[in-house]
Structure 1
Amino acid sequence: MTSADAPTTRGGGTCLVTGGAGFIGTAISPALVASFDRVVAMDNLHPQIHPSAERPRDLHPDVELLVHDVTDAQAWDEVLATVRPDVVVHLAAETGTGQSLAESTRHATVNVVGTSQMLDALHRSGHLPRRIVLTSSRAVYGEGAWRRDGDGSTFYPPQRTRESLEGGQWDFPGAAPEPMRASTTFPAPVSVYGGTKLAQEHVLRAWAHSFGVEAVVLRLQNVYGPGQSLINPYTGIMSLFCRLAKAGESIPLYEDGQVRRDFVLIDDVARAVHLAAVVEPAPDEPVDVGSGEHQTIALAAELIAERYGAPAPHVTGQFRDGDVRHAWADVATAERVLGWTPEFDLRAGIDRLATWIDENLSATRS
């Protein structure tokens, strides 16, 4: 990429962040404050994430926090009566893959209806932002594309059945997975959560294209790091692994421990989301955001156990419905359209997360 081709940035004006008091919202708040004249976070402070319903201490002090629910049309009208956003960063979402199977209505309501309520309210307000950034998920790809060993042809595996999982058939025989890239990988979600995130993308793009609003979609891999909820049982296996190892326990590994994931540190994700809000020109294709590498769950657990001097992880053979076997991103598009590359490898990221957990839990006990 030449200097003439490199993306530029544009700030100023007002930025509205839905779910702005959450994990990613607090992480991006310093950069947004530095780029925009006014930053407003809209968040319902759900007790699954915010048990005390208090303003997060890591949310930048210059961010205005409005406690409202994105599914509430009246709340949207109240917010947009005084907030005229130039850019909206839409983070608000229910994110638990396993939880979405038991609470599909909740996930659909927040993720899909919450998005449509936002878009309807923006239209009613008479003020449209120039850009909306949506944090989507690698879950939209499902199992992704696999390549047959024999002829090298590409196919899309169906959702793994309970019968195959109970029989220990983890992989798809005679084939190997491909990295996920928006330009070539067809979305085929295998979880309720993934289905709602893909619906979010479709709803936003159809609306934005009709009204001349820029729609930037980021498909995030497994985000982890300092600031992640330590009480939400449905997200964050890395923080769960750290807490188990810190307590001197052996980390349990689902399936055969060889599930591959793309663990991307929150610091890298925050830079990508911030760039998506200010980069010029706006990317017109979904952008995959990951670490640039993939690791097995077993390796991640081993590094965490090593960090704490805990017993070696052990394979349980258990599984979770709706999980995909392997997932990692090709980040070439992010480099091209955002000028972004990941900076942290897995070992460095685990060290940052473990240090934060040690400090956080010590402060909590004090």
Structure 2
Amino acid sequence: MKILITGGAGFIGSNLALSLLKENHEITILDNLSAQIHGDEPDKTSPLYNSIKNEVNFIKGSVTSKTDWEKAINDNEVIVHFAAETGTGQSMYEIARYTEVNIQGTALMLDILANSNHHVKKVVIASSRSIYGEGKYYAEDLNEYVYPEHRTSGFMDKGYFDVKYPGCEKELKLVATDENSKIHPSSVYGITKQNQEQLVMTVCPTIGIAPVAFRYQNVYGPGQSLTNPYTGILSIFSTLIKNGKPINIFEDGLESRDFVFIDDVVNATYLGITKEAANNGIFNVGTGVAIDVLTVAKTLVEKYNIDVPLNITGNYRLGDIRHNYADIEKIGKTLGFKPSVSFNKGIGAFTDWVNKQEIGLGKYEQSLAEMKQKGLFK
């Protein structure tokens, strides 16, 4: 097939492109080579870009440009739409940029598809677990599943980080978040991903295109950016450890996420592209296992064999959730997807790769300073 991957020079996109090339698919990539991800000179500073630039039809351009979209869509049969501004914290003070790229960029694609001749038969949209906001819980007091609202500064300033639900005195029990769970994002980023998904799933069926949405959990693995402070804690913690700096862990360290290895994400996405059973479907992509942040930090320290202080700070970021991990029953039954890489095995592969990289200082402290200045980091 002829497949367009927007944001295809990024972490997931480049890995997917290389996988599809092995299956003899013809790949076009539209990417703006953002300096935050690829550095100021991508030819020299971006291994991800260099891994695909001579293997695909590469178009440097933006999803906010109609001309770039038209050039990229051309005669492709499938669009995998990864291009987006990412990062929960940054989205809370760069609202216009996030909405322009994520929402308007997607709307522009759909507008072209709805009003022009093309060969596109399927659109795969990269959604996110962030659209759920807080995860799903069981309330023993009420004997029902509940979806707590976002935590407030009033409680977290006092060190109360667990979620609460009206009428419940007993501790809520965290359960896996399924695709029918409540959608109530707690960040601008989450809102934009929700909008992207809704636009694609609503418009595509009306114009004869099969939509597929993947709600990815926290994707990690060899090749992810170690300099972008918005790529997740594995990169952030690794950079700090390799520089011999202490890790300041937010809240009480017990907040948890579902970490899914890049190979499993590529496999799930490939199934979505190639299987008709995926058409018109929305799927979680994760491992179905929750790992708390303190465990992540301890595991990385152990893997690198570098002893740095782990400080539980009680600091927090507005817009962060407490817990979320995926129910992956639907994607398993429908597409036959089963994660193959455990957290321990995946972390081993990731840290082995990091050990071979030249590690800079990163921009994490700068990103926190920006958030603090905006009143979003407490």
Task: State the TM-score, normalizing by the size of structure 1.
Answer: 0.91
SS in 1 for 2:92: helix
Equivalent of 2:62, from 69, 72, 75? 69
Query: Mean alpha-carbon deviation: is it higher for 267-276 or for 55-64?
Result: 55-64
Q: Deviations over 1:126-184 (max 9, x none)?
A: 114111011100000011322212232222211111222212111124312221110x3
Query: Mean alpha-carbon deviation: is it higher for 312-321 or for 84-93?
Result: 312-321
Question: Using the alignment, how far apart are the partners of 1:98 and 1:22 within structure 2?
Answer: 19
Q: Does 1:232 align with 2:228?
A: yes
Is the CA contact 1:230–1:240 (under 8 Å) kept in the aligned structure 2?
yes
Question: Using the alignment, how far apart are the partners of 2:331 and 2:53 within structure 1?
Answer: 26
Is the CA contact 1:261–1:326 (under 8 Å) kept in the aligned structure 2?
yes
Q: Does 1:202 align with 2:195?
A: no
SS in 1 for 2:59: strand
Query: Mean alpha-carbon deviation: is it higher for 348-357 or for 214-223?
Result: 348-357
Q: Does 1:270 align with 2:300?
A: no
Query: Mean alpha-carbon deviation: is it higher for 188-197 or for 33-42?
Result: 33-42
Overall identity of the aligned pairs, in %: 37
Query: Mean alpha-carbon deviation: is it higher for 100-109 or for 233-242?
Result: 233-242
SS in 2 for 1:58: helix
Q: Does 1:58 align with 2:51?
A: yes
Per-residue deviation at 1:336? Answer: 1.4
Name 1:4's counterpart in structure 2: none
Per-residue deviation at 1:348? Answer: 1.2
Q: Does 1:133 align with 2:121?
A: no
Structure 2 unaligned blocks of 5 or more: 165-169, 361-378
Read off the aligned partner of 1:20 and give its amino acid letter.
G
Question: Using the alignment, how far apart are the partners of 2:351 and 2:274 within structure 1?
Answer: 31
Name 2:331's counterpart in structure 1: 334
SS in 2 for 1:257: coil
Question: Using the alignment, how far apart are the partners of 1:238 and 1:341 within structure 2?
Answer: 23
Name 1:5's counterpart in structure 2: none
Superposition pairs of residues 353-364 of structure 1, within 5 angstroms: 353-361=350-358
SS in 2 for 1:361: coil
Name 1:323's counterpart in structure 2: 320
Equivalent of 2:90, from 87, 99, 104? 99
Cα 1:176–1:359 change in 2 (3 A) is same
Query: Mean alpha-carbon deviation: is it higher for 96-105 or for 151-160?
Result: 151-160
Read off the aligned partner of 1:347 and give its amino acid letter.
N
Q: Deviations over 1:53-107 (max 9, x none)?
A: 3371222742111101001112222333xx3111111100111100000001111
Equivalent of 1:34, from 17, 22, 35? 22
SS in 1 for 2:52: coil
Read off the aligned partner of 2:64 and give its amino acid letter.
T
Equivalent of 1:261, from 257, 261, 264? 257
Query: Mean alpha-carbon deviation: is it higher for 97-106 or for 346-355?
Result: 346-355
Read off the aligned partner of 2:177 and give its amino acid letter.
M
Per-residue deviation at 1:357? Answer: 1.4
Name 1:109's counterpart in structure 2: 100
SS in 1 for 2:357: helix
Question: Using the alignment, how far apart are the partners of 2:25 and 2:348 within structure 1?
Answer: 34
Is the CA contact 1:300–1:346 (under 8 Å) kept in the aligned structure 2?
no
Structure 1 unaligned blocks of 5 or more: 1-12
Is the CA contact 1:252–1:313 (under 8 Å) kept in the aligned structure 2?
yes
Task: State the TM-score, normalizing by the size of structure 2.
Answer: 0.88
Per-residue deviation at 1:338? Answer: 1.8
Per-residue deviation at 1:192? Answer: 0.6
Per-residue deviation at 1:264? Answer: 0.7
Q: How many residues align?
A: 349
SS in 1 for 2:219: strand
Superposition pairs of residues 160-175 of structure 1, within 5 angstroms: 160-173=151-164, 174=170, 175=172
Is the CA contact 2:32–2:61 (under 8 Å) kept in the aligned structure 1?
yes
Per-residue deviation at 1:117? Answer: 0.9
Q: Does 1:44 align with 2:32?
A: yes
Question: Using the alignment, how far apart are the partners of 1:88 and 1:77 within structure 2?
Answer: 12
Is the CA contact 1:288–1:331 (under 8 Å) kept in the aligned structure 2?
yes
Question: Using the alignment, how far apart are the partners of 1:191 and 1:338 within structure 2?
Answer: 30
Q: Deviations over 1:305-332 (max 9, x none)?
A: 1112223522111111101100100111
Equivalent of 2:308, from 311, 319, 329? 311
